[in-house]
């Protein structure tokens, strides 16, 4: 899939205001002339559109990138777990995605800036850097989007539950961490589902929104695994996505 990673990064970091700034300056310089008034008005309108306007193209590109990473996660899951489609074809995999997490910064290498000018330089540095930056946005469709995404694939064998997870940067496509778990159904002690609404700042509307985050935790003998997902729905998606998975694990656990 051909993805515009620059557009994705621009969606999270924000569009450049250099063009509007130049137009405003030219308008001020030539304000005595009629064209100066039009330049000034055009620059101000351009600035406001960049700052508060909906970036539908960016939202669409982020969603396409998320779909692509989900598809790639399934392929990587088969490879990492050394599985064939024939081994898991009885039941379709359950794939969930949610917010990712920023890899730890080595001591002494954190980017520290302060003040309005410092923030402007930081934004410019972020746009030119491939470093993983955790940024979130509430879109014009009220959907939560994060620059770092987690993807979890649950696959069901005859006797085992297979889990693959990854943390990927949508702005670069780089997978920062991934791993696998294999649980025998007979060793699974419990599955828990949790919901939590959190405050997320909406940069366009300049206010906080309530976003529903959900998590699924699988407990086995001596260990556990948690998958987190987010939704823009007013009700849980867990029942829709995991009712079949829960019933399947119960049946196969009892059978084994």
Residue with tokens 């002690």: 189
Q: What percentage of the chain carries pLDDT values higher than 90? A: 17
The per-residue pLDDT for 217 is 83
Residue range 41-83, pLDDT digits in tens? 887 887 777 776 777 888 999 999 999 999 999 999 999 999 8
Whether 207 has a pLDDT exceeding 70, the answer reads: yes
Q: What is this structure's pTM?
A: 0.74
> What average pLDDT is seen over the chain?
78
Residue range 6-26, pLDDT digits in tens? 889 888 887 767 777 887 888
Domain ranges of the chain: 74-104+132-255
Residue range 171-186, pLDDT digits in tens? 999 999 999 988 888 8
28, two tokens = 């001020």
Residue with tokens 């491939």: 130
The per-residue pLDDT for 78 is 92
Whole-angstrom Cα distance, residue 94 to residue 188? 17
Residue range 85-114, pLDDT digits in tens? 877 777 788 888 888 888 765 444 444 444
Instruction: Report yes or no: 100 and 180 within 8 Å, Cβ to Cβ.
Output: no
Q: 236: burial class by Cβ within 10 Å (0-12, 13-18, 19+)?
A: middle
The per-residue pLDDT for 99 is 86
């Amino acid at each position: 899939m051909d993805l515009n990673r620059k557009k994705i990064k621009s969606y999270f970091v924000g569009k450049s205001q250099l063009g509007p700034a130049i137009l405003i300056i030219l308008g001020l310089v030539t304000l005595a002339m009629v064209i100066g008034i039009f330049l000034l008005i055009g620059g101000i309108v351009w600035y406001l559109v960049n700052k508060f306007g909906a970036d539908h193209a960016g939202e669409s590109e982020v969603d396409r990138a998320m779909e692509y990473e989900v598809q790639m996660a399934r392929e990587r899951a088969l490879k990492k777990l050394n599985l064939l489609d024939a081994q898991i074809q009885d039941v379709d995999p359950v794939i969930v995605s949610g917010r990712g997490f920023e890899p730890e910064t080595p001591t002494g290498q954190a980017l520290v800036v302060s003040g309005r000018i410092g923030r402007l330089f930081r934004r410019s540095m972020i746009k030119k850097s491939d470093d993983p930056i955790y940024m979130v946005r509430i879109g014009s469709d009220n959907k939560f989007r994060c620059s770092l995404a987690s993807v979890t694939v649950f696959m069901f064998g005859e006797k085992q539950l297979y889990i693959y997870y990854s943390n990927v940067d949508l702005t670069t496509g780089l997978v920062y961490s991934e791993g696998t778990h294999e649980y025998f159904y007979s060793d699974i002690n419990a599955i828990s589902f949790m919901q939590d609404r959190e405050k997320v700042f909406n940069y366009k509307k300049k206010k906080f929104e309530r976003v529903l985050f959900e998590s699924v935790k699988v407990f086995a003998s001596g260990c556990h695994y948690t998958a987190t997902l987010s939704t823009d729905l007013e009700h849980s998606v867990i029942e829709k996505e995991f009712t079949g998975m829960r019933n399947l694990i119960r049946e196969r656990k009892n059978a084994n």
